[in-house]
């Protein structure tokens, strides 16, 4: 659905506290990904903490989605837990609302 996100004037990014090497291995295991992967590696989880998605006790991040508008304002945020799944159609609809 990456083309639909682009049509909604949206840039999809993946962010995790994992290293570049972990990102590369993950992307390769999927046959590649069509969006940039960003590291929140050092200081570990600083970006996730800023968005309220860092789970201190576990030392990991929630599987969260944050939609930020062009002015840098968070317009939507949801976490589904570390093992949760996202509803991509719902997220596309939220992006369309922000940029519609």
- Confidence band for 100, pLDDT divided at 50, 70 and 90: confident
Region class of 28: left (phi > 0), else alpha (psi between -120 and 50), else beta: alpha
Q: What kind of architecture, by CATH, is found in domain 2-99?
A: 3-Layer(aba) Sandwich (3.40)
Q: In the chain, what percentage of residues exceed pLDDT 70?
A: 100
How many other C-beta atoms are found inside a 10 Å radius of the C-beta of residue 13? 11
Rounded to two decimals, what is the model's pTM? 0.82
pLDDT digits (tens, 9 = 90+) for 1-34: 989 999 999 999 999 999 999 999 999 999 999 9
Radius of gyration of the chain (CA): 14
- Confidence band for 76, pLDDT divided at 50, 70 and 90: very high
């Amino acid at each position: 659905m990456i083309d639909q996100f682009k049509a909604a004037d949206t840039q999809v990014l993946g962010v995790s506290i994992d290293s570049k090497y972990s990102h590369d291995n993950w992307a390769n295991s999927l046959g590649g990904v069509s969006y940039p992967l960003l590291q929140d590696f050092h200081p570990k989880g600083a970006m996730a903490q800023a968005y309220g998605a860092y789970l201190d006790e576990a030392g990991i991040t929630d599987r969260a989605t944050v939609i930020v508008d062009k002015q840098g304002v968070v317009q939507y945020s949801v976490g589904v837990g570390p093992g949760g799944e996202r509803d991509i159609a719902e997220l596309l609809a939220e992006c369309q609302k922000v940029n519609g």
